[in-house]
Amino acid sequence: MLILLQLYAAHLCAEFILQALWAKRWEGKPKGASRAVVACEYVGALAMVNVGLSWGMAVGLLLVALLHGAIEYIARWREGKWVAFGIAQLGHLAVCVGAMIVLGPTTWTAALDTAHTSLISPRTYLFIAVYVGVVFAGGALVQKVAETFLAAIDGTLQEKKPGLPKAGTYIGWVERLLVLTFVLAGYNEAIAFLLAVKALVRFPEIKEDTKGVFGEYFLVGTFTSMSIALIGGFLLKLLSAKL
């Protein structure tokens, strides 16, 4: 586990600190940029894995850096797309996990046993079901409930504050994800802070609506979303404790 944390910390420092400093220098030069990525990843890995560093480990870290560079080179084809960015980061994490197994004390057998244990554990599928249900299925339910009240909002107010396309959907996903996680972690005060921030952002729309319709619409959507996340969190804590 130590080497995994070292390698992933090295990757994060290399990509989001070292590479960011060199980004403008390598614009329009994909080959040069790829070499810079490998150099940053290798230097970061050598700096992090500083205890027990041998020649064999140094060669292994060079191969790890080359794999990171290959991932960045492929991801650059779809630069600017968040999906490509997410897949690339998963690839970087997978490289670090593989390096932990090859270079560290963990063996493939132990890793496969851990993966097998997770795959047959009911807790794994309970967490997946609740998180997907709360975040995504909960979003569909909130949308259905909110549509009933949307038609009552003054059309001029909607024209003044149209909002970004699909922003509300993404905000709802993140909101329920955070609330569910806060419930599981026991950080109830963070939920109150999240509600306060959301209300503060929506205050201008509520203030401009003299009929008070938008305020009620906002409360319906927020309370429905929060209720789904809170109930899901309490059920998950209860059921997971019994498994």
Q: How far apart are CA 53 and CA 63, in angstroms?
A: 15
Higher pLDDT, 230 or 103: 230
pLDDT, mean of residues 172-199: 92
Nearest alpha carbon to residue 174 among 93, 229, 230, 240: 229
Banded pLDDT at 199 (limits 50, 70, 90): confident
Distance of alpha carbon 151 from the chain centroid: 34
**What does the pLDDT read at residue 120?**
85
Would you list the domain boundaries of the chain?
A: 2-118, 121-242
**What does the pLDDT read at residue 185?**
92
- The region of weakest confidence among 8-17, 45-54, 177-186 is 45-54
The pTM for the full model equals 0.73
**What does the pLDDT read at residue 178?**
95
Q: How far apart are CA 88 and CA 72, in angstroms?
A: 7
Higher pLDDT, 200 or 77: 200
Residue-wise pLDDT tens digits, 144-176? 888 777 766 655 555 555 556 577 888 899 999
Token pair, residue 101, equals: 């197994």
Highest mean pLDDT among 16-25, 48-57, 168-177 belongs to: 168-177
**What does the pLDDT read at residue 33?**
74
**What does the pLDDT read at residue 167?**
78
The full 3-state SS of 171-202, as one line of letters, equals: HHHHHHHHHHHHHHHCCHHHHHHHHHHHHHHH
**What does the pLDDT read at residue 20?**
74
Average pLDDT of every residue of the chain: 83
**What does the pLDDT read at residue 169?**
86
**What does the pLDDT read at residue 105?**
74
Token pair, residue 7, equals: 């390698």
pLDDT, mean of residues 173-188: 94
Residue-wise pLDDT tens digits, 66-98? 999 898 888 776 655 777 788 889 999 999 999
